[in-house]
Amino acid sequence: MGGVGESLRESAVINLTAATTMVVDDSAFGLDLTCQALRGFGIRTSYTCQSAAEAMEILADQPIDLLVVDCEMPSVDGYELVRWLRRSTKANAMAPVIMTAAHIRRSKIAEARDCGANFVVTKPFSAATLLERIVWVARDVRPFLEVGDYFGPDRRIRDEGPPSEERRATVIRKAAFDAEQAAQTAAKDNV
């Protein structure tokens, strides 16, 4: 898998300048920072909302190409907004959603996946990371499924999956596993 530069080079064929984009974040600072990151690579934010209720009003009438939604908001949180979006709006039910969160536990990542979000990005994020995730979502070919009370992209990521950089602990564990496998193979060969 290529690094950040490789992903960005591949993204050159995607033109995001005409995308109708909505950013939803209860923090004015977070809202501004996300909009600046989007603007940095040519995406003009069409709608900015500081509450899920405000976003719902717009989403009911206006088609949106991309949503960037904060997970934790007062009253109606980002998870509920995405559930509502997937079930309540015909025009935007299949719009790509990237959720953002400052402090996210594994259970919250599962909740984002289960509410119908396409991807979660942790804050603080770099503009390059956000762009990689947007490009990944734009190229995502997973079908939308309706199973029980779930409607959204297939939650099973196939093939290479989303772009991510391995953390050092993961690299160390993998190296230890590979060394153990090599030692076992060598021991079998010597017997």
Highest mean pLDDT among 50-54, 149-153, 168-172, 177-181: 50-54
Q: Is the pLDDT of residue 10 over 80?
A: no
Structure pTM?
0.72
Within 10 Å of residue 90's Cβ, how many Cβ atoms? 7
- Rounded CA-CA distance 120/136 in Å is 12
pLDDT given for residue 79 in this prediction: 93
| Distance (Å, whole) CA 151 – CA 145 | 6
Q: What is the pLDDT of residues 81-136, one digit of tens each?
A: 999 999 886 788 899 999 998 877 787 788 888 888 998 998 888 888 999 999 88
Query: 144 with 151: CB under 8 angstroms?
Result: yes
Q: Please name each of the domains of the chain with its CATH number.
A: 4-165 (3.40.50.2300)
> Helix, strand, or coil here: 21?
strand
